[in-house]
Amino acid sequence: MWRTTIYRELHRRLSDVVGGPTAKEFAKLGIHTVDDLLRHVPRRYLAGAEMSDFSGLRVGEDAALVAKVLGAETHQSNNGQFRVNATITDGNTKVDVTFFAPRVKDGPTRKRAMGLASWWQKELLSGDRRGIFIGKVGMFQDRLQLTHPEFVMLDGASIRNPKTEKQANRAAMSRAVQRASLVGLYPAHAKLPTWVIAESIQMALPAIGGDTLPPWVVEEAGVLPFQEALTAVHEPTDREQAEVGKARLKFDEAFGIQLAMAHRRSQYAEEPATPRPRRFGGLLDAFDQRLPFTLTRGQTEIGELIFDELARATPMNRLLQGEVGSGKTLVALRAMLAAADAGGQAVLLAPTEVLAKQHYQTITRFMGDLGEGRALGAHPDATGVVLLTGSRSTASKREALNAIVTGEAGIVIGTHALLSDPVEFFDLGLVVIDEQQRFGVEQRAALSAKAENKPHTLVMTATPIPRSIAMTVFGDLETSELRERPAGRAEVQTVFVDTHRNPTWVTRAWVRIREEVAAGRQAFVVCPAITAKEEEGLTAVEELAPLLAEGPLEGLRVGVVHGKQAVPDRDEAMAAFASGETDVLVSTTVIEVGVDVPNATVMVIMDADRFGLSQLHQLRGRIGRGGHEGLCLLLAGVGDNVDAHTRLTALAGTTDGFELAELDLQLRREGDVLGAAQSGAGSLKLLRALDDADVIQRAKGLAERVLADPRAETDPLLADLMAKAEEVATAEWMEKT
């Protein structure tokens, strides 16, 4: 593998540059190498010549202020503690700045406390001097206040031979101010202030020479050379220059990912796959003839696209995004039947046993005797359908494994148990992965490795993914969107209730459930926690269920489902609700996807503000699946929380999951939307899918052109970038939640 000089320099351990103790503090920010350090850019810039405007200060917010010091004085309290009070101003408004020396009684420690207070007062003496003050804005006696802010004086400040770590930090900041027209304020923490970060970057910068990309790629991308970009970001002369420098670093992230994805796509295209052409007059046609409804246009069009790709000698790799209730499972099933018709086997991998069993029940119900295999009297084209999960008995597992290895089972449904070594397929032709974001590239590869040739792959997600994120996270897949809802699906009305302002509506919610049950329907009640111990203040399943059964829902049959139940108990509770033996199911989000109970018409979601928009949209998709209209009540005491109010009002106003996914991304950013492990915190520093969709798109196009260019085959810089990109692309944030 290539290792260029700049690659080796950037991948040096940070401890080699700043020392072990400081490197440990950097590690808390996810910074481990020189490359990480240099791509850690300021969150904002201050111009030393400008005074801050105090009018926008808000209590509780962090602030970085360039201000003039009006004066400082030292006080000693009755308990012997020294306190230094100073006043800073922007020319109009005043803010108090307060420092407290350690509380002491006598002896040497008292002398040190006096010396510290004296040093603070000396540093903060007035005389038309300005400083930078960084801290959290508070309020004391109706005056704005910064308590123990980090600070450095800008005028006439010269700290020689610093005796303490803080003095050394301020000296570092003074040097940083003298070097640049703008002062960068870096994301930091208490033991690693911004000026230490700035000083560390200045130590690392001189050793970096050359570029991480070939000149012809830099030119076509239209970005700054790497060295110039680092100077523009860390030593800018103005804010415009800093933004141009950041643009190069953002492009690097986007290009690295897209290069890895383009490389993956080209690798897929080179691997042989067994063609699985559609066989007319077979199992698929028999199934279609029995359908009691007409396929939507989207189901038909995507189905034909999949059939075309299954017939090719190169493996299909397609992502199917579907609106809630759009019929993704039916599209996948028809693809599986086509594979079985062509002599192959199809496997559906689900992330949970609940979802796997739901798929099994749905598919066997759809297929009827077409899924009974070669039983006496079965359809001549019938195939076997088996379920394999970790909790199944040894005997049932043995029976399922035998049906898989002999080919009797043309359709296999299961969980991670399918990835284990004993599972051998007779002729695996199609892999369907549900809830793709919960599985990773390695798991997908482990299943594919059980086929003689590369199997065709269809991955599905019930949570619509904004296109910008799809390009980044699932960029190695072609994407199809299923937006239509099948005919016959009832409308679901969604109502948001702020329980702080309308507490009586909680009682009305239970009355509404009783009304639906009296009409022969069923209801869900969803809670964010299993027990009250998980997080104080959250509604918990195990506490709410008995309260409802003994109170407002007394006389109704109340069941409980959550993720910590034993599998048999959970299955029994789910089966009882599905069969109508239970009227109300109190659950966590374990019922979020795959649960299909057409008789359920009402859902009450407790503490709805604790869920994301896409998750709430998925939850309400569990009701209104039959011919009866649904009602989803979002109960949350949001009070003055504007963001929560905006999100829940938006959910009540639309049933378009793709629109909600975009809004969720705007409000919560991709780190929350995808889950902490998928946010890219350890891999992507600057790139934001929402704001930088154009950068991602441009990088995708360039990556494809670069891979097709003969120069790419022998360029060591691209080889290094590819190696790093593959590390990012297979990192945990792209693997699973």
Digit-coded pLDDT (tens) for 155-197: 655 444 445 555 555 555 555 555 556 778 888 887 888 878 9
- List Cβ<8 Å contacts ≥24 apart for 576-582: 577/522, 580/522, 581/557, 582/522, 582/557, 582/558
Q: In the predicted model, is pLDDT for residue 735 greater than 70?
A: no
- Do residues 139 and 31 both lie within one domain? no
> Mean pLDDT across the stretch 393-409?
91
- Domain stops at, among 157, 176, 209: 209
- Structural domain includes residue 67: yes
Q: What is the pLDDT of residue 169?
A: 56
Position 588 scores a pLDDT of: 93
Are 25 and 87 found together in one domain? Answer: no
Q: Is residue 366 part of a domain?
A: no
Residue 353 lies in a domain: no
Residue 328 CA to residue 322 CA, distance in Å, equals 6
pLDDT of residue 544: 95
Nearest to 353 by CA among 575, 522, 625: 575
Question: What pLDDT digit, counting tens, does each position of 322-356 carry?
Answer: 877 788 889 999 999 999 999 999 999 988 888 88
Q: Answer yes or no: is 431 within a domain.
A: no
pLDDT of residue 50: 67
Q: Is the pLDDT of residue 580 over 60?
A: yes
What pLDDT score does 225 carry? 95
What pLDDT is attached to residue 217? 92
512: pLDDT confidence band, cut at 50, 70 and 90?
very high
Q: Are strands 317-322 and 456-461 parallel, antiparallel or unpaired?
A: parallel
Q: What is the CATH number of the domain that holds 134?
A: 2.40.50.140
Residue 631 belongs to domain with CATH number: 3.40.50.300
Question: Taking residues 100-123, what's their average pLDDT?
Answer: 72
pLDDT at 550: 94
> Would you give the distance in Å from CA 515 to the centre of its chain?
39
Cα-only R_g, the chain = 31
Tell whether 96 is covered by a domain: yes
* Same-domain check for residues 606 and 514: yes
CA 414, 418, 422, 427 torsion-angle sign: positive
Express each pLDDT in 365-383 by its tens digit: 999 999 988 766 677 889 9
Whether the pLDDT of residue 270 is over 70: the answer is yes
- The domain boundary, picked from 151, 185, 219, lies at 185
- Looking at the fold, whether 51 and 8 belong to one and the same domain comes out as no
Surface-to-core class of residue 395, CB atoms within 10 Å of its CB (0-12 exposed, 13-18 middle, 19+ buried): exposed
> Distance between CA 276 and CA 311 in Å, rounded?
5
What does the CA dihedral 472, 474, 476, 478 come to, rounded to 10 degrees? -120
539 and 591 both lie in a single domain: yes
pLDDT band at 257 (very low <50, low <70, confident <90, very high): confident
Q: Are 412 and 380 in contact (CB under 8 A)?
A: no
Q: Are residues 558 and 627 in the same domain?
A: yes
Mean per-residue pLDDT of the chain: 83
- DSSP SS3 for 732: helix
**Residue 433 belongs to a domain:** no
> Is the domain of 519 the same as that of 621?
yes
pLDDT at 680: 34
Write down the pLDDT at residue 467: 62
Whether 34 and 79 map to the same domain: the answer is: no
From 233-242, 330-339, 728-737, the region with the lowest mean pLDDT: 728-737
Q: How far is CA 475 from CA 246, 257, 348, 387, 518, in A?
A: 23, 8, 22, 31, 49
**How high is the pLDDT of residue 451?**
84
Residue 247 domain flag = no
CB of 720 within 8 A of CB of 7? yes
> Is the distance from CB of 270 to CB of 453 less than 8 angstroms?
no
Give the total number of structural domains in the chain: 3
Q: What's the mean pLDDT in 312-325?
A: 88
pLDDT of residue 59: 86
Would residue 546 count as lying in a domain?
A: yes
- Give per-residue pLDDT as tens, 424-483: 999 999 999 987 555 656 677 778 888 888 999 998 887 777 666 666 666 777 888 888
Residues 58 and 151 in one domain: yes
pLDDT in tens, 671-718: 433 333 333 333 567 887 767 888 988 998 999 898 888 888 788 888
Residue 112 above 80 pLDDT?
no
Confidence of residue 104 (pLDDT cuts 50, 70, 90): low
Range 1-4 contact pairs with CB under 8 angstroms and sequence separation of 24 or more: 1/719, 1/723, 2/716, 2/717, 2/719, 2/720, 2/723, 3/720, 4/210, 4/716, 4/717, 4/720
Indicate the residue among 626, 654, 682 that finishes a domain: 654
**In a shared domain, residues 590 and 649:** yes
pLDDT digits over 547-571, tens only?
999 999 999 999 999 988 988 888 8
Enclosing domain of residue 174: 47-185
Of residues 506 and 717, more confidence is placed in 506
Q: Let me know whether 108 and 17 are in one domain.
A: no
Residues 497, 643 within the same domain: yes
Specify the DSSP element, H or E, that contains 460.
strand 456-461
Q: What pLDDT score does 161 carry?
A: 44
Amino acid in the structure at residue 68: K
